[in-house]
Amino acid sequence: MSKPVKQIHLAAHFPGVNNATVWSDPAAGSQIDFSSFTHFARTAERAKFDFLFLAEGLRLREQNGEIYDLDVVGRPDTFIVLSALAAVTDKLGLAGTVNSTFNEPYEVARQFASLDHLSAGRAAWNVVTSWDEFTGQNFRRGGYLEQEDRYERAKQFLAAAWELFDSWHGDEIVADRESGLFLAHPDPGGFDHHVRQFDISGHFNVPRGPQGRPVIFQAGDSDEGREFAASAADAIFTRHGTFESGKAFYADVKGRLARYGRSPDELKILPGVTFALGDTDADAREKAAVIRRQQVSGQTAIRLLEQLWNRDLSSYDPDGPLPDLDPVPGENTVARGRASVRMHRYPLATAARWRALAEEKDLSIRDLVIEVTGRQTFIGSPATVAAALNDFVQADASDGFILTPHLTPGGLDEFADTVVPLLQERSVFRTEYEGDTLRDHLGLRTPVPAAH
């Protein structure tokens, strides 16, 4: 018996504040003006995407002790943009990253519950934790946490928010003018949460939202992250955007679900990916190369190299060879406020590999950085990309994709106009929204609250 054909899920990630976003292009628009967000969201909705995604930043990045000025800098508040976008879209899911470290569960839970009401059931929360003291300098809750306390706090934060979302069961409000009864129960929203990190109790003040709970995303690839996602998340935003590593990740995470009494379709796996399109595959490859050179200027190449080398390399020529010096091991003191530097776990080995590659292919610093960082995931004509996306999903390397274009705000337009119709022709992507809520789009059940 052949495997049933899977439907692809698609999401649009608003271009962010790293060098993947090309601001020097004449077509590049504002990353702040609401008109950019409206354009981007309407394109995603026109193309029947599942949702739009916003990342978060809480401290401007620094390098060599100065605010980093080569990439897009500055972004608006996630909640405000998502709530405002609910006014200019009807069906598109509205997902945002909100840090659980520099917030309180009561406040975040009521913001997401409010967004779910105000968008009629389209809210999603990508739960992340970050605990660097650098970012913490902007917050009351900025104090240092021991390593073991960090995971505990993250877990307990979500458990507390969960309890708050579930504290209203959905049948409390009767609002009956005749009888004068507004509430069916005198004590709605009760909660009592006493754990090491949070000692809170009382009453939540937002009634249960249309989705019960907002859709919960988890964005880590670590073992703990996978286990957490298997136990509680609705979707994973993963970095495993290549076919082989995607398949392995997919099998691993889906395999964990049974332990929590969940079926494989209750957790969607969505890698973050990029793309470059052209009329032909050759044309697309050329465009991809041009975009890569826009993304990695000579200056940017030096800065990216510094992030691995963990030292000032400003005297090096980006068009010359890699430094003979080795990276400085230990804590990264050059780049601050950047999650990506934590991925350089073995800088000496990586540097050796890069040097070997540069020698073998005769690459300058800039060429090398273009080669080893952030190449587009899907490159080709619309037909080629549509086929590749579909193969990826049907082979269980993912359930869909979170696409990040390189241009704000029009970077999604071509994909919407050329690739999406081909996916629809293959009957692997919706031609109309079938439901109203993000849970509907993702094929997720609305959670049922416990009885009173």
Partner 1 sequence: MPLSPQPLHLAVALDGAGWHPVAWREPAARPAELFTARYWTDLVAEAERGLLDFVTFEDSLSLQSSRPDGPDGRTDRIRGRLDAVLIAARVAPLTRHIGLVPTALVTHTEPFHLSKAIATLDHVSLGRAGVRVRVSGRADEFAHVGRRTAPARPVTAAAVRELFTEAGDYVEVLNRLWDSWEDGAEIRDVASGRFIDRAKLHYIDFEGAEFSVKGPSITPRPPQGRPPVAALAHDTVPYELVAGSAEIGFVTPRDADDARAIVARIRDAQGAAGRADETVHVFGDLLVYLDDAPGAAAERRARLDERAGEAYTSDAPVFTGTPTELADVLQEGREAGLTGFRLRPAALPHDLERITRALVPELGRRGLFRTEYGAGTLRGLLGLPRPANRYATA
| Ranges within 101-120 binding partner 1 (CB under 8 A) | 102-104, 106-107, 110-111, 114-115, 117-120
According to the binding rule CB under 8 A, does residue 27 interact with partner 1? Answer: no
According to the binding rule CB under 8 A, does residue 374 interact with partner 1? Answer: no
CA separation for the pair 256, 259 (Å, rounded): 6
Cis check for the bond before 409: say yes or no (omega within 30 of 0).
Answer: yes
According to the binding rule CB under 8 A, does residue 386 interact with partner 1? Answer: no
Would residue 164 be called left, alpha or beta, if left means φ above 0 and alpha means ψ between -120 and 50 degrees?
alpha
**Of 138 and 340, which has the nearer Cβ to partner 1?**
138
Q: Binder to partner 1 among 5, 27, 33, 342 (CB under 8 A)?
A: 33
**Of 303 and 439, which has the nearer Cβ to partner 1?**
303
Residue that the structure tokens 């849970």 belong to: 439
To the nearest whole angstrom, how small is the minimum distance from the Cβ of residue 179 to partner 1?
9
**Of 71 and 414, which has the nearer Cβ to partner 1?**
71
Look up residue 356 and give its two tokens. Answer: 């070997």
Q: CB of 214 within 8 A of CB of 208?
A: no
CA separation for the pair 283, 405 (Å, rounded): 18
According to the binding rule CB under 8 A, does residue 224 interact with partner 1? Answer: no
Q: CB of 366 within 8 A of CB of 378?
A: no
Query: Element (H or E) spanning 281, and its range?
Result: helix 281-295
Q: Binder to partner 1 among 183, 343, 349, 356 (CB under 8 A)?
A: 183
Q: Binder to partner 1 among 5, 27, 87, 448 (CB under 8 A)?
A: 87
Q: Restricting to residues 144-173, which ones interact with partner 1 according to CB under 8 A?
A: 168, 172-173
According to the binding rule CB under 8 A, does residue 199 interact with partner 1? Answer: yes
To the nearest whole angstrom, how small is the minimum distance from the Cβ of residue 305 to partner 1?
15
Q: Which residues pair with 201 in a beta bridge?
A: 192
According to the binding rule CB under 8 A, does residue 372 interact with partner 1? Answer: no
According to the binding rule CB under 8 A, does residue 64 interact with partner 1? Answer: no
Query: Element (H or E) spanning 393, and its range?
Result: helix 382-394
According to the binding rule CB under 8 A, does residue 196 interact with partner 1? Answer: no
Report H helices in 123-172.
133-136, 147-165
Q: Restricting to residues 286-305, which ones interact with partner 1 according to CB under 8 A?
A: 297, 299-300
To the nearest whole angstrom, how small is the minimum distance from the Cβ of residue 113 to partner 1?
8
Total number of residues binding partner 1 (CB under 8 A)? 75
Core vs surface per residue 244-273: b (16+ CB within 10 A) or e: eebbebbeebbebbeeeeeeeebbbbbbbb
To the nearest whole angstrom, how small is the minimum distance from the Cβ of residue 208 to partner 1?
10
CA triple 221-338-275, angle to 5 deg = 65
Q: Restricting to residues 234-273, which ones interact with partner 1 according to CB under 8 A?
A: none
